[in-house]
Structure 1
């Protein structure tokens, strides 16, 4: 299972246009206009300095917009969030620069509402993205996070159907009369439906794996019928082992199954085979980031980076004092 990227919504449209309805053209157009606005202000050094001075004069919380890049997970969501926070400053700047077409489109109520909805949606996707990253997250946790997000999509859709936008904080505050127009409500509902369908397509076995891995999560609350026949007898021995049940309450999953591997090898191997799976590319990408940081232009002749990389990515802390104590500062003549 790969980690999601913050551009997940737009990639649905790019990869498979038929997977979403024509309503997504609205969100896609809003995203394109947002990118165009940021490029207009940030691409030129003069515009960038003038916008910074404007933000300083208005005592804004931020003084610059953010670029995005498709190879960084959270950049697009951060870019939209910063643009929405500085929407008043952007509107004034566009007016001062006589960009009437962009100003009118940006300040229209429909555009700001759609932008607020996109900001909220990308924030939710970014939050899921961060939860999927980390060194000590097993694939079972990944499945739980995805299933929780799918349930949230159903909750949000039911709330929007009732006219409740509390789950989208920016959109809720942007609605002046707290009332969704029927067409905009329909667009949001359809978009959430398609977003869930794309998640299910991206993770097709999300529910099947939950049932298959039930014995790993808690073998003492699992039926023998849910276990494959070749390990059922061994599973029953484990299930009625009171000592193992007490250990299960105190140990984490990996430690528990490793401890009982010599006693119940068949079922423990099945559990450990799942627990040792890589659920995301986080460790690989983290190693590449460390490599980029280590091999800078000042160390461009560094050829053998294995030692540096091993020290940087290892979770074992070196005993510096012990190593130093074993070294003689100056050899005797």
Structure 2
């Protein structure tokens, strides 16, 4: 049997399946034992990555405006890694694509980040004028007005739209707790750490949960870098509060026992579990590869209105929006709930100060009556008028996705479609970078700390545009597998 040198790691599983069908599992087992050297695997990864990169940066990005999503992290060897994703128009759709993962050799200043981005764009002869937006985590090195990444980009293209990640802003907003509620969270974490810090205690607690036929057997650890951590930890502690009481009585931890038997403390725990559950739902709703500024803004504004409704209901004495909170200590817990909801509302207005997408309603539905609120130029208003009266386009609008509709008319109605696509191309979160960090932790783990081709492995792993295996294989001479 012959196989091309490149892509053998892809071809062999297919061969194994064919051999298993035709000759049986024993023959397939022998096929699976064909060795691949580390150099062979590395060479194939490099060539597949190169093919993807040429296809994206060398071809597709030249014919489209694009938006960037940038963030940096530290890998297992304490090296700073900069990850960038790009969103651009690929044929008849808007595509998210991994751009690169580059090491920041010394410092992680805004100038260092900009130099890496600028060198990459120069390498592929891409213009900053085609960059319509950039989304970052809001760190000073990213958005600083003097030495931040954004300040250097603005010198290249002053029209770039800068977005502070919605997920990051929501996480900052949700950290706001009053002193009483903060104490409850701290005490919950002490309980969890008391059990999780020793394997013997964890096993004993698991045994107690088993004997009591509990829904869960283990507690969850809290970590500040995980967006959804607090809500999950609080909910799990609330669900296992009876098991925790039995455990702490066995451990003679009177302080923890007193807390778990205090109805007011439990009421505060119940409220925290409920409110963080609502915050987690908001957080997960704005995650995802297809989110843009319009969709994320709608969800944030909806939550702002919910906060106002909940606060009004709490002032009237109702806590039905928090199902875990019982009526046992309703009088005592109400002032804390009202105070916290007021603080959340205030912080949300601070972190999301100017969310107004009404001026972009024409993007969502170009067949609405035009108004002066849209801030369009004369040419754009004329083209929008032409679009809004075209019955054929109206039928197309009903059948196609929003992005596909605006892409389909960009040659005929250049100005208005360009303005619409500039908004639709914007990233609202750094979700893809966070997803990339998870893959980076898997690829460059403790046992692969000396791995050099991080950028290439990440590109092959995360790219939505796949390499042309057949084309690459044609450049290699076939040989007998051995």
Task: Check whether TM > 0.5.
Answer: yes
Check if 1:239 corresponds to 2:388.
Answer: yes
Checking the alignment, whether the CA contact within 8 Å between 1:139 and 1:279 is kept in structure 2 is yes
Range with bigger deviation, 284-293 or 83-92: 284-293
Deviation at 1:12, TM superposition (A): 2.6
Shift of 1:76: 1.4
Contact kept? 1:3, 1:133, Cα under 8 Å:
no
Secondary structure in 2 aligned to 1:212? helix
Aligned length: 315
Contact between 2:174 and 2:279, CA under 8 Å: does it hold in 1? no
| Structure number with higher relative contact order (C-alpha < 8 Å, ≥ 6 residues apart) | 2
* Cα shift at 1:157: 2.1
Tell me, what secondary structure is at the counterpart of 2:347?
helix
| Unmatched segments (≥5 aa) in structure 1 | 14-23
Residue 79 of structure 1: aligned partner: 233
Task: Please say which of residues 98-107 and 113-122 is displaced more in the overlay.
Answer: 98-107
Q: Secondary structure at the match of 2:176?
A: helix
Q: Deviations over 1:231-256 (max 9, x none)?
A: 22222112112212221111111111
TM-score by length of structure 1 reads 0.87
Runs of 5+ in structure 2 lacking a partner?
A: 1-163
TM superposition score normalised by structure 2: 0.61
SS of 1:12 mapped into structure 2:
coil
Aligned mates of 2:280, 2:467 — CA distance in 1: 34
Distance 2:305 2:199 in 1: 45
Native 8 Å contact 1:128 1:145 kept in 2: yes
Shift of 1:134: 0.6
The reply on whether 1:37 has 2:191 as its aligned counterpart is: yes
Structure 1 segments of 4 or more deviating over 6 A?
Answer: 318-328
Q: Secondary structure at the match of 2:165?
A: coil
Offset at residue 31 of structure 1 (A): 0.7
More helix by share: 1
Within 5 Å, give how 1:253-332 maps onto structure 2.
Answer: 253-316=402-465, 330=479
The SS at the match of 1:59 is coil
Contact 1:224 1:232 in 2 (8 A): no
Q: Residues of 2 paired with 1:10 and 1:136: CA distance?
A: 24
Match of 1:175 in 2: 327
Residue pair 2:167, 2:429 contacting (<8 A) in 1 also: no
1:218 aligns with one of 352, 361, 365: 365
Answer whether contact 2:293 2:424 (CA < 8 A) is retained.
yes
The offset of 1:273, in angstroms, is 0.9
Structure with greater strand share of residues: 2
1:265 CA displacement: 1.1
Q: Does 1:28 align with 2:182?
A: yes
Secondary structure of 1:169's match? coil
Alignment of 1:46-65 (within 5 A): 46-65=200-219
